[in-house]
Structure formats: C-alpha cells, structure tokens
Structure 1
Amino acid sequence: MITPLGSGGAWWSTDKRNARRTTLGATAIVVLLALITWLIWMSPTDNPVRKIVGDVVQPVQTNMTLKNDRADLLDQLVSTKSEMSSQSAALASQKAQLAAALGKAKALETQLSAAKAGASKAEGAVKSLKAAMAAGGTPASVAAAAGGGADSTGAGTDAGTGSGDAGGGDSGGGGTVGPVTPATPSLASIISPTSRYFGLYTAQSPFSFSEFNQVATDVGSQPNVSGYFQGWDQDFRPEAVQASWAKGDLPMMTWESQPITASNNAANQPKYSLPNIIKGDFDAYLTKYADDIVANGQPLAIRLDQEMNATWYPWSEDDGHGKSINGNSKGDFVKMWQHVHDVFAAEGANKYVAWIWAPNRLDNLTSSHQTAEYTADLYPGDEYVDWVGMSGYERPASTGNTQVTTFSGTFDKTLGVLRQVAPSKKIMLAEVGAAEVGPAGASIKPGWITSFFEGLADPANSDIIGFSWFNLAVTTSSNGSTITNDWRINSTKQSTKAFEDGIDRTDLGYRLRPVVQ
C-alpha cells in the first residue's frame, strides 16, 4: 500500500518549497567541498590528507608530462629521418656526379696517352723519312722509312750506324699504344757500319746539345756520334743514351775507373788500383751498371780506360822505367778489362755494348812504351774487344812538339801497331784534336784538318770507320807544364772552313744527315 505524500514531504521533493531547499543544499555542499580543498592545500606539506591527494594527483601529472615528451621526441625523430633522407639523396647525387667526372677523366687520360704515342710514332717516322731522303734512298727505302715497319732501324745508315736488322728490341710496327722508344740499329750494324762516323765531344752533350748543334751548323753536317765521359763514382745515365738515339746519334761513353772529377795526371789513386778491381771490390757497382744498361735496352759504345799505354792514369801499369803505378803490375790491365767484360756478360749487357780499346798515340810516350810488344801486352784479346782505336792530337809548339803536322805524322806509327796487334778489328780514332800553333809558331790547325781528311780518303786507311773530335778548350798538365789548348773545330773561321770542306768530300764514305735550320 502506498502512502500518499503529505504536504510536509522531504526537502528534495519537487514542490516549490522543496526546490528552494534543494538549491540551498547543493550550494552548501559545493562551498563545503571548496572549503575542505582550500584547507587541505593551505595546510602544511606533511598533512596526511594533502599527501594522499598529492600521491593520487602526481602520477597523473607525471604521465601527462611523459606523454607530452614522448610526442615531442617522436616529432623530432620524424623530422630527423626526413632530413637524413634528404641528405642521403643529395649524397647519392653527388656520388653519381663524381663517378661520372672520374669516368670522363679516365677517358681523357686514355685519349691523351694514345695521342702522345701517335705523336711520338709520327715524329720517329718523320725522322726516318728525312734520313732516308738525305741518303738519296730509293722510293722503296723512303717508303719503308716512312712506314716504320718492324725491320726499321730508326737511326739507319745515315746516322753512320749501318742498316741491318732491328737491334735492341725497340723498333716496332704500327698500332702500338703507349710510349715509343726511338728505334735503334742492331749492335752488329753498329760494329760494322756501312758509312763512317763523325763524332763530337762537347762540354754538355748529350745532356744538352746547344754547342753540339752549333758546331753542326758551322760545318754544315750533322755528327752521328755523341761522345761523353763518366767516372766510376757515377751510375749509368740512361737519359744520355736515350737523348743521343733520339737525335739519331750513337752514344759513345768514355768510362774511366776513377772519380769523374779526377784530373788527367792523378795516377796515384789506391782505391781504384787494378788489383782491387780484379779481386771484386767494384763488382756490385759493375753488376748494377750492367743491369741498368740491359734495362734501358739501347746500344752504346764504351771506351774503357783509354790511353792505358801512357803513364798519367791510375790504370797504367808502370811509369816507363820499371816502377809500378798505383800498385799495378804487368798483365793487370788485361785482367781488369776481362773481369769487367765478364761481369757484363753474366748480366747479358754485352749484347748492347760495343767495346773500344784505345791506347794513346805512341810517338809522344817514353821509348819503352812505344813498342808493338808493349802495346800487345795490354790488349785483352779479340773476344773482348769490338773496335781498336787511339787518342791522337796535333800538339802545340809549347809542348816541345817538333813532329810533322800532318795526318801521317800524327797517326801512322800508332795505326801500324794497332793493325799488327789486332789485324781483324776496325779502327776508331776515338779522341782527336789539333792545336792552333805548331812547331814553327805558325797557325797549323787549318792545314792539319785538310791533311786529316786527305788521310781518311787514302784507301790504305779504309779500316778506319770514323773519328770523334774533342771539341773543347781545356787547361791541362803536360810534361810538368800547365797549358790551355783550344781543340775546337770552330776555334777560327779558317779552321771551320777547312773542316767544312773536308767533311763534304765525296770520297770519304760519309752519308751524314743534313743540318736542319
């Protein structure tokens, strides 16, 4: 049974009077709660109620902070990844550009190498063509020279080195890519040439050809031998050989077993005595020298320890009066020569070397050294020598020279002994020159030069394959006196003209290259 509400019902009832009560009650509750909250937060921090409320509220605040921080980090990570992706794309683009540039550079380098090779080959062909034309060759020979085939000798007969097969392995056919070495003749064609040699020593050749070329211009003919000196304190100079062949000239090195700075009268040098060389003190040096010649692969002529029959070098055996020079004994020179030759043979270098044995002019030596017997005792043997030769100067009056100033007066006595000692060998006048003033105090060089070429034209001297002129003015010691001699071909206009006329003779067997202005 439901009892009806009376007029005095509960305060939350919906009648008008109870509605006012409800509003007042709710307001009172809110005020009370606000008052409680204020009391809690205004109370000391160790208040239990505040602590409980703080413990509930703090984790919520912390979680919200962490969420906000995590959101920020995620935003930063996304931004960083985007930036890295952009940078990676740029780097890939730069790598691609670099690879393309390197590819272009490599292609250009290949093209440059091919162009250099082509230019070098063309230059060699032009030189060969000029040489063949200067020799008056047939159209076929000129065409062969221009073609530069496998049998081409580069320097050819017009360099005074003969034709023959290609020696040194440096001449090749067309189509070769890479550096091209000047073609060189075979050693056999060098030793047995089909035309004579005109050699020249100057102060700088073959390292500089300025003076060399000036002499050629003055006399109107291009020399075909480049002479130079080296001491045993120097390594092999491949650039000297290469520079000579690049001009079409045979390099002819005078190789002295002493320091390069030694004077020509310093006979006492114990380190360089013949016994020390024979016993092997210089074998390491000799072996390296031979190996370097093989590595260079181009032939040369070597005049080893010249003028051994004289008394002014450390490789001389005695002083002409039975006294030893530099600790040397009779027979030591031959043993030394053979030892050096054997070292070269062991290294395979002798296939590139023409060995020149060249004593001094006999008639200005002590009497005991002028005999054929003494000269023969210094000869190493035919198997160790390719050419025999000599040094022959027309000396100035200041040296006490009273000899006849002609080819015969300078050379005949020594030539006779050379032919007796080594009858099968060709002769190279390896070092020649003439003074300006002769025995009577008059100028003798022009007349001596004329006589010199007349002597070369004599059929009796057909075994002389050429000469090398010492074209220097030097101060030297002779018979205890210091003398300056001007041995140069072009020392005067008269001497230059005499030489020009002589080298132009058609009965000498020369086929020299013309001077290119």
Structure 2
Amino acid sequence: MITPLSRPAGSAWWTTGKKNSRMSALGATIIVVALALITWLVWMSPTDNVVRKVVGDVVKPISTNMELKNDRADLLTQLVSTKSRINDQSAELAKLKTELAAATGKSTALETKLSKAMATSSKSAGQVKDLKSQMASSGSSASGTAGSGTSNAASSGSTTPTTTTGETPGAPSGGTTTTPTSPIVTGPTIPTTPSLASIKKPTSKYFGLYTQQSPFNWAENDDVSSKVGVSPNMSGYFQGFDSDFRADAVQRSWAKGQLPFLTWETQPLKAANNLNTQPDYALSKIIGGDYDAYLTKYAKAVAANKQPLAIRLDQEMNADWYPWGENTNGNSKGQFVQMWDHVHQIFADNGANDYVVWVWSPNRVDNLNSTRSQQAYLANYYPGPDEVDWVGMSGYLRPPYSNSETYSFQHTFQNTLTQLRAIAPDKPIVLSEIGASENGGQKAKWITDLFTNLDAPVNSDIIGFGWFNHTVTSTTNGTQYTNDWRIDSSGSSITAFTNGIATVQDQYKLKPTG
C-alpha cells in the first residue's frame, strides 16, 4: 500500500481537502464578482473616467487592428477582382483597336472611291449635256439610229475617233478638233474642245464671268445667264502658288462649254490684295529655282490633262499693290520678265505650252502715279511676242471719281488700249477683268457705252471681256468703299447689260438661255 503524503499544518486553501475546496470555490466566486463589478463601474462611469480611458486605450488598438485586417482582406479581394477585369478589358480593347484600324482603312478606301465617283459624276453630267446638244444640233436621236456612224458604233461596241471642223457649242469657232465618239450605252464622251490655234485667234468673241464658286459650282453663273438671256463662254477663276493644278476646273469649264480663264498669282490664294511685301514670293526666288519642283509638277499636270486653258499670270504688274511688282517686295527692274521667261520655259520643257494661251494683263494706266502711267514703264514688263498670246487689262468704273470722270468706255479704257496696241501690235486684246460700281449712279450708262464701243470697228481687236461679278469692300486713299460689281446689282444694270450684249451677239455667238 501506498501511504498518502501528509500535508503539513498551515498549507494553502486551494490544496486538496474538503475544507480547502470550499474555500477555493468561495475565492473564485469573489474574483468573478469583483471582475464584473469593476467592468460595470468602468462602463457606467463618465467617458472621461481615468479607468475607463485606460481600459479603452488597451481594447481599442486590438479592435482597430482587427478592423484593419478585415479591410486589408477586402482590399486584396477587390484588387484581385479589378486586375482580372483589367485583363479582360485590355484584351477587349486590343480587339476593338484591331477592328477600328480595319474599319478606318475601309473608310479611307471608300472616301477615295467616293471622291473619284463624285468627280466622275460631275464631269459626266456636263459631258452628257454637251453630247445631247451636239446630237440635237446634228439631228441625231438618243438611240443613235439617225446617223449611220453612231448606230454602227453602238451596235459594234467600238469607239471611233471623229474629226470635226467648225464651231464648238459655247466656244470660239474656226478650229479643227479631234474628239472620241463613244456609244451612249458605254457612257458619256469627253467634251469637245477647240484647237489651241483657234482659241488664240478666235472667229467669235468671249463673254467671261467671274463668280464666287465657278467653275466648281454653276449656280450663280446660271442665275446671271438667265437674267441677261445668254450664257457666258468663258469662266474666270483664281489660283495661287500654294495649290496644284486643278484639272477638274478645266474639265468642268469645257463640259459647260466655257473656256477656262485662270488668273495664276505668285502668292497664296487667300493673300490680301494690298499685301505687296511677301519675301517668300519675291521674283528672285522664282527666277532662282525655289519653285521649280512646284512649277514642273504643275506643267506636267497641264500637259497630262490635254485640254486648253488661258493663263493670266501675275496680273496688274505695273501697279504697286502686289508682291510681283517691281520696286516692291525687294524686286528690281527687269525681274518680272525674267520670272515670266522662267515659268514659260518650264512649261515648254514639259509640253504644257501646247495647251496654254498666255495672257499678259496690266492694270489700267491712268489711275496710277505719273511714273507708272507712262508707256515706257509699262513696256518694261512685256515679255515679248513669243511668250504672250493675248494682251489684256483690268479696268473698272470705281470711286473716288475725278472731276474729269465721264462714266464712259473712253475714260476707263482708252489710254491703256493705246499703250497696249503700241507695245504689242497685232496681239488680240481681252478686257480680262472689268466691272462697274453702283456708287455714283452711273453704272447703267457706263455699261451701255461699253457695248457701243465693243461693237465699233476701231475695237475689232478686242476679242472679249471678263466681268468680275463680285461685291468687294476696299480702301482707296484712306477711304473705304463697298463696290457692287455684279451685273444684277440693280434693275437698270441688268437691263443695260441685256440690251448691250444683244447688240454684239453677231460677234460673240453666245448660246441663248430660256
């Protein structure tokens, strides 16, 4: 047997024994009650109680730490989810970029095709109209059964060049031209154009019109035509040295039955009319070859288009308001002719002169200063008969009017015509840019006198005129004027023009409207 160990007297109350067990239970109960009481006192005490504060400071970090751990776990979950969505969206974005690139390529191709189709449609509309006019005048029917040549071409599907001699609708007559005759079923023909020789020395004269949008839009041109009863046979428009050759301008003009009459300026197209200092366009730069690449490209495009046009290069050179005038923009005497020679030679080298009527066109001399108004001064600008086909001039009835103004053809044109005939004898003359202002109330009188003198035998060398059908506000001698040059600026103006153009119809042979 094992004898239990005896407890020495005075041992602890928690040791084994009945008495001590009761004491242990009592002690535990006291401790629990004391803790509960302390807890109640802490939490029921005011918030600024020191004990409560100490307890709170101990408990709060533990609680905050747990919240932070929970938040961290939530954020990690959200981060994983976001990364997954980003990856999905990146893949979708890459797919969309690929689709967009493909769509952009298709769009660019379609735009190119649309532009070509619109240009072809515009050209074709004029060609169809011209073809119908030719067929109507020759008595041919739309089915091609009237003429044996047309019907044979239609039945065989072949295209046979046909050479015609005589007058082209809406253009001067007397030239021999070669034009393809195509069966209607295969599409419209290329507009018939006169030979260059017949344009240079025409047997009928030109009524030209400058409008805001021609030859790219004919609305204003047609409106004026309907009011005066005849259609122009020359279309005036402008280009600068900042744009390439516009074959569509030439093609649309001929499709309309009008000679393209281009004013080509050695400056940007939208440059102000009185901006005579433009160093980038000094004559020396053109002479020196700075623009040779541009000029060569332009000349080649003219030759490739194979349709004639008139080019009025750097008009009003004897005045001082453009950068190509001598004694302006750093230019010196003789450089205008050198520039003209240079441009003309590049055209000759590239075959473009086979399609160009070169027009030398100074400004009206009597409204310039005493030096510039002299014939010797003007003669200095003339390139010579081998490089000029027509001579012309700009002449307007415009304020401020002098005390000697007679509102007549004689006052506006005669002094300049006298100098032109002396400088360039035997060259056809075109009044290349003219108009009359309503200011002063004498426009109708001036128009009537214009046509009276155009019909006079003494002016038989004047082969036509170009009317500037615009309204322009400009400053002269410090005073601002708004000049309405339009033919239809007033009822009296329209009446005078309609009556006047009718008096010269036998020389101009214009197509009636109506």
User: TM-score scaled by structure 1?
Assistant: 0.69
The Cα offsets for residues 213-246 of structure 1, whole Å up to 9 and x where unpaired, read as 0000010010000100111101111111111111
Alpha carbon RMSD of aligned pairs, Å?
Answer: 2.7
Corresponding position of 1:424 = 426
Contact 1:226 1:252 in 2 (8 A): yes
Corresponding position of 2:394 = 391
Cα 1:269/1:119, change in 2 over 3 Å: closer
Distance 1:480 1:146 in 2: 64
The Cα offsets for residues 92-134 of structure 1, whole Å up to 9 and x where unpaired, read as xxxxxxxxxxxxxxxxxxxxxxxx999987644322255689x
Deviation, structure 1 residue 313: 0.2
Deviation, structure 1 residue 403: 1.9
Corresponding position of 2:338 = 335
Contact 2:168 2:193 in 1 (8 A): no
The partner residue of 1:406 within 405, 408, 418 is 408
Cα 1:287/1:119, change in 2 over 3 Å: closer
Verify: 1:163 aligned to 2:163, yes or no. no
Distance 1:479 1:292 in 2: 42
Letter aligned with residue 411 of structure 1: F
Distance 2:148 2:496 in 1: 36
Corresponding position of 2:115 = none
Contact 2:182 2:189 in 1 (8 A): no
Contact 1:265 1:313 in 2 (8 A): yes
Corresponding position of 1:128 = 134
Deviation, structure 1 residue 160: 3.6
Corresponding position of 1:110 = none
The Cα offsets for residues 140-182 of structure 1, whole Å up to 9 and x where unpaired, read as xx9899999722379x35424223111xx6x123459566321
The partner residue of 1:471 within 463, 469, 472 is 469
Distance 2:403 2:208 in 1: 26
Corresponding position of 1:152 = 164
Letter aligned with residue 311 of structure 2: I
Corresponding position of 1:201 = 210
Corresponding position of 1:378 = 381
Contact 2:124 2:188 in 1 (8 A): no
Q: Percent identity?
A: 52
The Cα offsets for residues 483-504 of structure 1, whole Å up to 9 and x where unpaired, read as 2110001100100000000001
Distance 2:260 2:507 in 1: 20
Letter aligned with residue 359 of structure 1: P
Q: Give secondary structure in 2 for the equivalent of 1:384.
A: coil
Distance 1:426 1:131 in 2: 30
The Cα offsets for residues 256-298 of structure 1, whole Å up to 9 and x where unpaired, read as 0000111111000000000110001111111111111111111
Corresponding position of 1:233 = 242
Letter aligned with residue 375 of structure 2: A
Deviation, structure 1 residue 507: 6.8
Number of residue pairs matched? 378
Structure 2: stretches of 5+ with no match in the other structure: 1-121, 140-145, 152-159
The partner residue of 2:226 within 217, 237, 257 is 217
Distance 1:484 1:297 in 2: 40
Matches within 5 A, 1:434-449: 434-438=436-440, 443-449=441-447
Distance 1:469 1:299 in 2: 21
Cα 1:456/1:146, change in 2 over 3 Å: farther
Distance 1:272 1:253 in 2: 19
The Cα offsets for residues 456-481 of structure 1, whole Å up to 9 and x where unpaired, read as 01100000000000000011232333
Corresponding position of 2:301 = 292
User: TM-score scaled by structure 2?
Assistant: 0.69
Contact 2:244 2:298 in 1 (8 A): yes
Contact 2:379 2:423 in 1 (8 A): yes
Which structure has the larger Rg? 1
Deviation, structure 1 residue 366: 0.7
Corresponding position of 2:79 = none
Letter aligned with residue 428 of structure 2: K
Corresponding position of 2:261 = 252
Distance 2:206 2:137 in 1: 15
Deviation, structure 1 residue 508: 5.5
Structure 1: stretches of 5+ with no match in the other structure: 1-115, 134-141, 319-324
Distance 1:163 1:143 in 2: 24
Verify: 1:301 aligned to 2:310, yes or no. yes
Distance 1:225 1:369 in 2: 30
Letter aligned with residue 354 of structure 1: V
